Amino acid sequence: MDEQVRSRQERNNPMHLKVTVLGGGSWGTSVAALVARNAQTRLWLRNPDSATEVNTHHTNSKYLPDAKLPDTLTATTSLEEAVSDADVVVMGIPSQQFRKVLMDLKSFIRPWVPVISLAKGLEQDTSMRMTQIIGEVLPGHPPGVLTGPNLAREIMAGSAAASVLAMEDETICNWLRPVFQSGLFRVYTNNDLIGCELGGALKNIIAIAVGMGDGLGAGDNTRAAVITRGLAEITRLGVALGGRPETFAGLAGTGDLIATCTSPQSRNRHVGERLGKGQSLEQIIDDMHMVAEGVKSAPVVMKMAKELGVDMPIATEVFNVVQNGATARVAFRGLLRMTTGSEADPG
C-alpha cells in the first residue's frame, strides 16, 4: 500500500510530469529549456539537423546562437514519439500552422492531457484564438496559454522576467504553474483566458506601428503616445470580445506591449522599423526566418473590430500598410490628422 501511495503521489507531483514542447523556434526552445529544469522534457523539431544539434551539442544555433541548453533536454523529429507519452503538451507553433499540427498529433495524444499555447496570433480563416482551436480539434483537453513580456534571448541569458499562465480551470492552472517557473523566470496565474490571449495577439500590431515611427525617425514622445493609445485600442477590442479590463493592465497586456514595442529583439517592431525606412514587406519577410505574427493578425483584428463597431485607428493604419500597400509615412500622416477629444473616448 505504501508503494501504491508513493506512486500516486509521484504522478500527482507536476515535477514528475513528462512535458513535450512542439516547435523549435526561439521561444519554443527557451520554454523547453526552462521546463527541463523542473520536469522530463522533450522538444519536437521538424529539422533533423536541429534535433541532432540539440541532442549532441545542447544548442539551437539558428534561433538562440549564444544559448546553452540543459543536458537533460532531448529532441526528436517524430511527432508520435514526442506526444504519445506526454502528460503536458506545449505548442510553440505559429498561429497559421497551429491547427495543422494539432490535427497531426490528434491520433497520438492521450486523453485529457493539457495543451498550452505559446502563440500570440489569431487564425486568419476563422478569427479564432489558439485555445479555441485546441478546444475544437482536441475536445476534452484543458487548454491554456503562457504569455507575457518574454523575450527569448534575454531569458536564456538569465535576465529576470515574468509571465502569465492562463487557464479557465484554476485548479489545473495552479498545478501546472511550478512546471514553468524557473529561477528568475516568475510565473503568475490568471483565469481570464480570453484577455490574456488577446493581449498577446493584439499588441503585435501596435508594435509594428511603433516600429514604423522609429524607422521614420519619430521621437520618444511619439513612441509613448502610440504605445498608450495602442493600449486603449487593445483594451477596447479585448473587452468587447469578453476579456477583463484589468487583464490588459497586467503582464499579458501592458507588460507584453511595452516589451514588444521597445525591444530591438521584437520581430514585429523590427518589421515596422524597416517599413518606416521604406523597405517592402515582401523583402522584410524574405529576410526573416522567424514569424512576425502582427502581419498575419492585422486583417483578422480589423474584421473583428468592424463587426463589433470598435474604433481602432492605429491598427487601421497598420492594416493599410501590411495589406493595402500604403507607406509608413502615409500611415503616420493619417494618425496625425486625426481629431482629438477626451482621452476616454475612442480614437
Residues involved in catalysis: 203
| Contact between 53 and 61 (Cβ < 8 Å) | yes
Residue 319 and residue 312: Cα distance in Å, rounded?
10
Do the strands 40-44 and 74-76 form a parallel or antiparallel pair, or are they unpaired?
A: parallel
Residue 259 and residue 238: Cα distance in Å, rounded?
19
Q: Would you say the C-alpha torsion 125, 128, 130, 136 has a positive or negative sign?
A: negative
* Number of C-beta neighbours around residue 289 at 10 A: 8
- Say how many residues make up the chain: 347
Residue 42 and residue 82: Cα distance in Å, rounded?
7
| Contact between 200 and 147 (Cβ < 8 Å) | yes
| Contact between 254 and 231 (Cβ < 8 Å) | yes
φ, ψ for residue 75, nearest 5 deg: -130, 155
Provide the CB-side half-sphere exposure for 78 (13 A, CA): 7
What does 31-87 look like in DSSP terms, one character per residue?
A: HHHHHTTTSEEEEE-S-HHHHHHHHHHS-BTTTBTTPPPPTT-EEES-HHHHHTT-S
Q: Which residues pair with 20 in a beta bridge?
A: 42, 89
* Number of C-beta neighbours around residue 325 at 10 A: 10
CB burial of residue 89 (10 Å; 0-12, 13-18, 19+): buried
Helix (H) or strand (E) holding 138: none
Cell 529576470: give the residue: 160
